[in-house]
Structures are given as C-alpha cells and as structure tokens.
Amino acid sequence: MLAIVRRFQRLPLRREAAFAVAGIALAIHFATWIASLSFTSVAVATLLVTTTPLWTELYDVVRERRPPSLNYIISLVLAFAGVSALALAHTPTPPPIAGHALLGDALALIGSVAIGAYLLIVRDTSLSEGVVLGTRQIVARTYGWAALALVVGAAFAHEGPPALQNGAAWGGILAMAFISQLLGHTAFNAALRDFSPTVISMATLLEPVVAALLAAALFREALSVQAVIGGALVLAAVAVTLRNVRANGGDKDHVQTAGAEQEL
C-alpha cells in the first residue's frame, strides 16, 4: 500500500489518530474472527461476523437520538432468537478445538462489532473538515495500522509465521492479502463515498451460505437443523435491517465534495 499511495496527504493529528483507531478496529476484526474458527464451525462464525448491519444501524439510532423503527426492533428480536438457537445448537462436526463453541460465537460477534466500528470511523473521518480523502490514502493508513497491531499481537501471543516450506499456509495468507483484503475490503472503503456502512454490509449476506457450502465440501462440516434455523433467523434479521435503511433513504449518507480525489 505504501508503494501504491506513494506519498501521504498531510492531515491534522486528530484525523490521523482516528484512522489509527480504525486500523486497530480492523485488526481486532481479523484477530477475533479468525480465532473463532478454532472453536466454532466455519458456517456459524461467518454468519455471526456478518451481523454488522445490526450494530451500525444501532449506532446511527443512538447518535441521531431517534427512536428505533418497528422494523429494526423486529430485526433485533429475530437476531436474538437466531443467535440463541446457534449458541445452543449441537454441532455434528466438532471444530478443531471442541467444547468451546460459545467462546467461538462470542469471538465472531466481537469481529462483527469491530468491522462495524471500522466502517463508521472511516465514514465519518474520511469526509470531515471539508477535505475528502481518496480511497488509497485511507486504506494505506488503516491497513498499515492494522498490520502493525496484528504483528504486535502475534509477537505478544508468541505466534511466529509459518515455516517457509508450508506452501498451503503461505498460499492462504497471500490469497487473503491480495484478494480478500486488497480487493474486497478496499472495495468496501471505496463504496463508503456513496453508501452507508449498513448498506455496504449487504454485500456480505452471501458469505455464510458460500462458507457453509465450502466447509461442507472441504471439511465435511455438517450443521444441525437447529443451527440452520438459527442461521436463517439471523439472515432474516440482517435483511429486515437493510430493507429498513434503504426505505429510509440511507443508501446515500453523504454528498461528495466537489473536486474530491477520485482514486478508484
């Protein structure tokens, strides 16, 4: 990213600090969600980490001091029922570390809240003080802070990198860096110019379905009927939230500033 951005645009210290906090939130998202995969199923972890629209909409409700709509209350009830069903469901295929499914579910939810915080901070910071930053300027900052936080966290946990000859591990790392992160998450950042964090999160709704199918094919991971019902309730809650936001005109949170740097 440093090679792509070439030079940083000068910003006030307060704004730089906000991007640093966003980067740390992104690091927490990755650390907690990937850790959750050791304790719960791939499908459940991916499902819970995509509940971000519930938290971003809750933040906007509190910030704007407006009463939650009936649709949002319905979505919270559906989400609570779905998460409860998932937490109490029996897992036919045990995760790598069995017996700690609730810990895995909690870690995935923390990852969901963290990525929501990241999107909200970037949304509010990138368009503040009358200067609109380009996407490359934003992600070079936030990805850099996230990388630094993760390296420090790995060192603190005494977790070194995989062996150089471990091609599968390094292949996964490179795929996450160049495909999931550089393309996927950067696209989310670029979309913040035109859409709210809640609406952007709609793009993740297919992740649990795809992840469940891949986990079944690759790891023979099966889900109980109760887990499938719980997952359907959570997806329904997210869908209701997104529909409510779009109905209220929430897909255009900001007006682009004339002469803004268009980088992507």
Question: Please, which pLDDT band fits residue 42 given cuts at 50, 70 and 90?
Answer: confident
Residue 44 half-sphere exposure toward CB, CA atoms < 13 A:
38
Report the mean per-residue pLDDT for the chain. Answer: 82
DSSP 161-229: PPPTT-HHHHHHHHHIIIIIIIIIIHHHHHHTTTS-HHHHGGGGTTHHHHHHHHHHHHH-----HHHHH
What is the domain partition of the chain in residue ranges? 12-158+173-247
Q: pLDDT above 90 covers what percent of the chain?
A: 28
Predicted local distance difference test score (pLDDT) of residue 74: 83
Q: What is the pLDDT of residues 198-213, one digit of tens each?
A: 667 666 666 777 787 7
Burial class (CB in 10 A: 0-12, 13-18, 19+), 263: middle
C-alpha 136/C-alpha 262 separation (Å) is: 10
Predicted local distance difference test score (pLDDT) of residue 198: 66
Confidence check: pLDDT of 45 > 50: yes
69-85 burial: b if 16+ Cβ within 10 Å, else e: bebbebbbebbebbbeb
Which two structure tokens, joined as six digits, stand for 100?
């700690």
Confidence check: pLDDT of 161 > 60: yes
Predicted local distance difference test score (pLDDT) of residue 166: 96
Identify the CA nearest to 85 among candidates 236, 206, 241. Answer: 236
Q: Across residues 86-112, what is the average pLDDT? A: 84
C-alpha 97/C-alpha 94 separation (Å) is: 8
Confidence check: pLDDT of 137 > 70: yes
Q: Across residues 201-228, what is the average pLDDT? A: 76
Predicted local distance difference test score (pLDDT) of residue 252: 46
For 97, residues 6+ apart whose C-beta sits below 8 A from its C-beta are 38, 39
**Residue of 200 and 259 predicted with greater confidence:** 200
Confidence check: pLDDT of 37 > 60: yes
Classified as helix, coil or strand, 98 is coil
CB atoms within 10 A of CB 180: 12
**Residue of 181 and 28 predicted with greater confidence:** 28
Confidence check: pLDDT of 251 > 60: no
Q: Across residues 75-104, what is the average pLDDT? A: 79
For 247, residues 6+ apart whose C-beta sits below 8 A from its C-beta are none
Predicted local distance difference test score (pLDDT) of residue 30: 93
C-alpha 212/C-alpha 50 separation (Å) is: 13
**Residue of 229 and 171 predicted with greater confidence:** 171
pTM for the predicted model, two decimal places: 0.79
Q: Across residues 69-93, what is the average pLDDT? A: 76
Are 78 and 53 in contact, with CB atoms under 8 Å apart? no
